[in-house]
Amino acid sequence: MNRLWVQLSLMISGVLFLMFFLQFLNITLEQAGHKPDLDGPAGGPPPAEIQRRLLNFMLFSVVVGTAGGIVIGRITSQPISQIARAAHRLGKGELDVHVPVSGSLEIRELAEAFNKMAADLQRAEQLRTNLIADVSHELRNPLTVLEGSLRAALDRVVPIDEAEIANLHNQTRHLSRLVNDLRELSLAESGHLPLEKIPIDVKQLCLETLQALQPLADEKGVTLADKMPALPQVNLDPLRLRQVLFNLLTNALRHTPERGKITLNAQTSAGWVAISIKDSGEGLDAEQLCQVFDRFYRGDKSRNRETGGTGLGLAIVKAIVTAHGGQVDVRSEGKGMGSEFVVRLPLN
């Protein structure tokens, strides 16, 4: 028998027994206050009758308490049993399981917590499956090119010249970049990315990054500008912040057409330093705004992996900024209206 039923039965039986015991104790005391004439009619039932009635009521209370406990226990434990069965199914891999939210306040809270846990597990499993599929897809293409080129060279179909060696080298560089990006993203999302924070001049670091990318901007005919006042020193990892700025600026250059403009701005407000990178490029629609920081997401599906990168740059930006205790957001008024990425990092 369910332990809850037993406990409820004992509680009800105890309450009933105590109630009837007090009642008959009161009758017994009243009888003791009478002085019945042994030769005449008694002032009340004799003690033996009282004992018999007490015993009958004791048995009645046990029966009623047990039956009531079973009924109440079944009603009370039914939603708990449903949650237990659902937990067993969840443990077997049925991640789409859920339980009805009903019963007392505590049971409803438990059911809602279980459903949320099941939904989170299902979402995490979907993300894991998508990640494996994306990684497999990204690795398959350069590996296929490498395998095909090497096989053609071994069969003497294609000569091994400098152009072919350069192509193979580019594929291996892409593989190395992809593996390194995946490793950094994994470390950052798991909270194990090493950060060497030191006081740095954020404005100077931003200007150095702009200067490093100036030749690429000149080649594309894009103007790089900055609007930055003097900024206080901030405890950050300079290499990681440079990586964030480099990824955001190269992403802006990739999506900004010739004669476009990219503006880097920074300012402090309410304990935060905000760095914004605004471009006059392709812009983003509502769907892209929700997915732009996802792994392997490319807003322009026509771009290949050489011109579009590994698809992990913005995901790494978000992971690094989050590891610093900051936030990164993006906003755009729509396609063709440009976009703006804003990185907020705590001053302290």
User: Average pLDDT of each block of 10 consecutive residues along the chain (348 residues)?
Assistant: 57 66 64 53 59 69 68 70 85 84 79 88 78 73 80 80 79 80 77 86 91 90 89 89 92 89 90 91 83 72 51 85 91 87 90
Residues 81 and 163 placed together within one structural domain of the fold:
no
CATH value at residue 183: 1.10.287.130
The amino acid that residue 290 corresponds to is: C
pLDDT of 329 reads 92
Residues 183 and 258 placed together within one structural domain of the fold:
no
In a domain, 108, yes or no: no
How far is Cα 345 from Cα 324, in angstroms, rounded to an integer? Answer: 7
Residues 43 and 85 placed together within one structural domain of the fold:
yes
Number of structural domains found in the chain: 3
pLDDT of 149 reads 80
pLDDT of 328 reads 93
Q: Is 310 strand, coil or helix?
A: coil
**Radius of gyration of the chain, Cα coordinates, nearest whole angstrom:** 37
Residues 152 and 214 placed together within one structural domain of the fold:
no
**182: which residues sit within 8 A by CB, 6+ positions away?**
135, 312
pLDDT of 1 reads 40
Q: Is 156 strand, coil or helix?
A: coil
Report the relative pairing of strands 261-269 and 223-227 from DSSP bridges: parallel
Residues 322 and 207 placed together within one structural domain of the fold:
yes
In a domain, 113, yes or no: no
In a domain, 109, yes or no: no
Residues 175 and 274 placed together within one structural domain of the fold:
no
pLDDT of 172 reads 83
Residues 298 and 210 placed together within one structural domain of the fold:
yes
pLDDT of 310 reads 65
Residues 41 and 157 placed together within one structural domain of the fold:
no
Question: Among 38, 62, 94, where does a domain finish?
Answer: 94
In a domain, 315, yes or no: yes
In a domain, 100, yes or no: no
Residues 221 and 331 placed together within one structural domain of the fold:
yes
In a domain, 107, yes or no: no
Question: Among 189, 221, 249, where does a domain finish?
Answer: 189
Residue 327 is inside which H or E element, if any?
A: strand 327-331
Residues 209 and 336 placed together within one structural domain of the fold:
yes
In a domain, 104, yes or no: no
Q: Which domain holds residue 63?
A: 3-94
